[in-house]
Amino acid sequence: MKISRIEHIGIAVKDLENSIKYYEDILGLKCYGIEEVKDQKVRTAFFEVGQTKIELLESTDPEGPIGKFIEKRGEGFHHLAFATENLDESLKKLDDKGIRLIDKKPRKGAKGLDIAFLHPKSTGGVLTELCENKEK
Ligand code: ZN
């Protein structure tokens, strides 16, 4: 497996517009995209910080993964996403090594990336996302 950098850090928020204000007005970052990912029941907002992005995640449904996360743990750090190559092959290798996969196959995430999540039980408690940008 080849990880090149941290692609983004996912933060669960209750109110996307309110949180965008903090990142823009207080931290001076610029939101460059808001996107709804329907099958994940979230609205996302993105900020660039050098080569890495911040992804804010607001639930659109209390029964969705972010809705449940916020109910249990509150707002805050949600997942760490690494940029990788050959995502399909990486997932097979991780599966062979006994790593618990939430997604056995890559699926489409925000910004057209192919993504897959690893289960925090296998990653020291950090929900981990692998991303591959096939368009670059
Ligand atoms: Zn993410």
What is the value of pTM for the model shown? 0.92
Alpha helices in the chain (DSSP H): 16-21, 65-73, 87-96
What class does CATH assign to 3-132? alpha beta
pLDDT tens for 53-111 read: 999 999 999 999 999 999 999 999 999 999 999 999 999 999 999 999 999 999 988 77
Q: 131 vs 9, 36, 97, 100, 116, CA distance in Å?
A: 12, 18, 19, 17, 7
96 Cα to the center of ligand 1, angstroms: 24
55 Cα to the center of ligand 1, angstroms: 6
54 Cα to the center of ligand 1, angstroms: 9
26 Cα to the center of ligand 1, angstroms: 23
Q: What is the pLDDT of residue 22?
A: 98
Percent of the chain past pLDDT 70, that is, above it, reads: 99
Q: What is the pLDDT of residue 1?
A: 87
Rounded CA separation 102/89 (Å): 15
Domain coordinates of the chain in residue numbers? 3-132
